Amino acid sequence: MVNKAKKQGTNYETNIVNRLNKVENFKSQRFAEGGSKDLGDIQLFADNEEYFIEAKSRQNLNLHQSLEKAIEKSNNVNTVLFWKKLKRKGANKRRTNDGMPEVVSMSYDLFIKLLNK
């Protein structure tokens, strides 16, 4: 039986890949879990540039630490963190979005690099 959290993460990663692949000049794919060679959850090629995406779907997240860890894993400034914040509302057993459906976070260096293109 598959771990519920892993299944939720896989579904979120697949959703991101499917949405990115609908954008012209974007090609993305999920990475298989790579253990010590894990570069992130998703690889994205956009305009001949490679990006790494770490995807988190959970209620709480230390954004600063998670982004730093993602950048360390990929060893690449072109790393972003997608976060889908979920919250249980009332007696509902299913968690739903809390505020914005998702946010994307990046380092200052990547932000400046993208603005200078």
Domain interval for residue 11: 4-115
The confidence score (pLDDT) of residue 85 equals: 84
Question: Which residues lie below 8 Å from residue 8, measured CB to CB, with a gap of 6+?
Answer: 57
Q: Tell me: the pLDDT tens digits for 3-60?
A: 877 888 889 999 999 999 999 999 999 998 766 678 999 999 998 999 999 999 888 8
The confidence score (pLDDT) of residue 16 equals: 96
For the chain, what is the domain count?
1
- Where b means 16+ CB within 10 Å and e means fewer, 55-65 reads bbbeeebeeee
The confidence score (pLDDT) of residue 97 equals: 58
Q: Tell me: the pLDDT tens digits for 73-96?
A: 999 999 999 999 876 566 666 655
Q: Rounded CA gap, 106 and 78, in Å?
A: 8
Instruction: Give the domain CATH number at 55.
Output: 3.40.1350
The confidence score (pLDDT) of residue 36 equals: 65
The confidence score (pLDDT) of residue 96 equals: 59
